[in-house]
Structure 1
Amino acid sequence: MAELRNCPSCNGFFNYTGMRDVCHNCAQIEEDQYQVVYRFLRKRENRAANVDRIVEATGVERDLLYKWVRKGRLHPAMFPNLGYPCDTCGRLTKSGKLCEKCQNELKAELRTLEAAQDFREEMDRKTRATYLSEKK
């Protein structure tokens, strides 16, 4: 079932069905801009262009480029200098929501937390064993 939303680009109303996050008119404008970017990147000399160079050459907003890379419309495998910002630090990444550095930091913190929990559980077991012994 469609849901009535405001378009984030033009602030007009549109029926959100889950397919697009902007109204039909703004979606058409985005598609036209996508075609400009794609034609620019198809040229051999532009395939290694970074986000700044693409924005400068095409005039397309940086956030739209990030959106297209995140959604898989522009593949970092084909265009190696493309990516989108990490949700934590803002460094460019090519997959997921976090860059490799933030992922590794999060994994390290989780390992530390698990080790602390294991230590607490072990101490609780030892403490219980000490207090549960009976004298005869």
Structure 2
Amino acid sequence: MGEVRNCPTCGDLFNYTGMRDVCPKCYAKEEELYEVVYKFLRKRENRAANVDRIVEVTGVPSSLLYKWVRKNRLQRALFPNLGYPCDSCGKITTDGKLCEECQKDLKQNLREFEAAQEFREQIAERDASYHAKK
């Protein structure tokens, strides 16, 4: 059973079942725009177009293009210059939610946190054994 939500595009109520994030009316409009974009990209000379070029030629909002790339409707293997913004810094990425740089930063921060946590545990152990010997 779905839940009733407001469409983020038009504001109408619709039954959200987890399949589509917009109402049926907006979904139909998105599908029409997808056909326009796909027709543009099918031409050999347009396959290397980036998001800015596609927006310029088709008039389709970049947010929809990013959505389609994220959902693999516009596949990177077929259209190599397409990507979507990193959730952290906004830099264009092609895999996951974070770009490589933000992934590295996050991993480094986790390593530092774990090292600090380990250091605090060692100090707590030392203090506990010191007080136990007294």
Give the TM-score taking structure 1 as reference length.
0.91
Residue 127 in structure 1 maps to residue 127 in structure 2: yes
1:77 maps onto 2:77 in alignment: yes
Q: Using the TM superposition, give the Cα deviation of residue 66 of structure 1 relative to its aligned residue in structure 2, in angstroms.
A: 0.5
Identical amino acids, percent of aligned pairs: 63
Hey, what's the Cα distance between the residues in 2 that align with 1:103 and 1:28? Answer: 36
3-state SS of the aligned residue for 1:34?
helix
Hey, what's the Cα distance between the residues in 1 that align with 2:99 and 2:21? Answer: 25
2 CA distance for matches of 1:32 and 1:13?
Answer: 21
Name the counterpart of 1:115: 115
Q: CA deviation at 1:5?
A: 1.8
Amino acid at match of 2:111: R
AA partner of residue 38 (structure 1): Y
Give the secondary-structure state (helix, strand or coil) at the position aligned to 1:39.
helix
Superposed CA RMSD: 1.3
CA distance in 2, matches of 1:9, 1:131: 63
SS at match of 1:65: helix
Residue in 1 that maps onto 2:26: 26
- The aligned residue for residue 65 of structure 1 is 65
3-state SS of 2:56 partner: helix
What TM-score results when the alignment is normalised by the length of structure 2?
A: 0.93
Higher mean C-alpha deviation, range 120-129 or range 32-41: 120-129
1:110 Cα deviation from its structure 2 partner = 0.4
How far is 1:129 from its partner? Answer: 2.4
Mark the structure with the bigger radius of gyration: 1
Q: Which runs of 5+ in 1 are unaligned?
A: none
SS in 2 for 1:15: strand
How far is the alpha carbon of 1:127 from its aligned partner?
Answer: 2.4
- CA shift for structure 1 position 76: 1.5
